[in-house]
Amino acid sequence: MIAYRGADPDFSLRGKTAIISGGAGGIGYATAEFFAGKGVHLVLADLNADADSIAKKLGPENVGVTGTICDGTFRKNVFERALAAFGRVDILLNIAGIGPLERAEAYCEEDWDRTMNVNLKASFMMAQIAGAYWIEHKQDGCIVNMASQAGVVALDRHVAYCASKAAVISMTKVLAFEWGKYGIRVNCVSPTVVLTELGRRAWDNPAGEAFKKEIPAGRFAEPDEIAGVIAFLCGDAAAMITGHNLVVDGAYTIK
């Protein structure tokens, strides 16, 4: 059962431990920074060789682990490092992702497999480790998966990305359905274009300006807006929210 502990007006997460895949850059880093400000212990799993120093900039006790979440040994190591450092894991944020773009008729098998492995398979395997641990130890837990508006509507040249993110949304629902009785909540967030460094490079052009005109809100999202949504989903105020895909797209997908 998912317990109700009251709606904390401060939306506190203090003292919790969060593993964040892709935590050394982009949305992952913005979320790590947001969570650090709320007193969360952080374990950042990232390809970046400087993951540990990046984590420690947000707090000397934090941990960064360098490697790929597509590797099973690395995934286990991330959880072992979290337990060794903090004695518990409360939150898993599956934020790491990729999105090679190409028209469907020219999309290569290698990029298809890589996209599915990173965006879908690795997220599930990370969730499986967390879920199995929480079930065994009779501990509540919270998972937030990173999906996308591309998992809700079709986007040009996004065939593998759209398919992987739609699958993440479906996976989220199944995990929430199966694990709710253990006190485990599983949700996902589906942003529009987010103005990370990569997002700015990709969309600061005429195509980006045209895309913005299709968004009723008239702009793209900022990284800390996504971080705030994730933090809300991880707190006690969201105790009755599980299996939900929270779309953060300025109303783009309601058309």
Residues with catalytic roles: 161
Nearest to 193 by CA among 26, 80, 54: 26
Phi/psi for 141 (5° steps) reads -155, 165
Helix axes 122-136, 72-86, angle to 10 degrees: 40
Question: Cβ distance 31 to 226 under 8 Å?
Answer: yes
- The type of residue at 224 is D
Question: Cβ distance 249 to 232 under 8 Å?
Answer: no
**CA–CA gap between residue 250 and residue 216 (Å, rounded):** 6
- What is the four-CA torsion angle of 231, 176, 142, 165, rounded to 10 degrees? -60
**CA–CA gap between residue 21 and residue 42 (Å, rounded):** 11
Question: Cβ distance 136 to 157 under 8 Å?
Answer: no
Task: Taking the CA atoms of 78, 247, 135 and 13 in sequence, report the sign of the dihedral they define.
Answer: positive
CA angle centred on 85, ends 82 and 89, rounded to 5°: 35
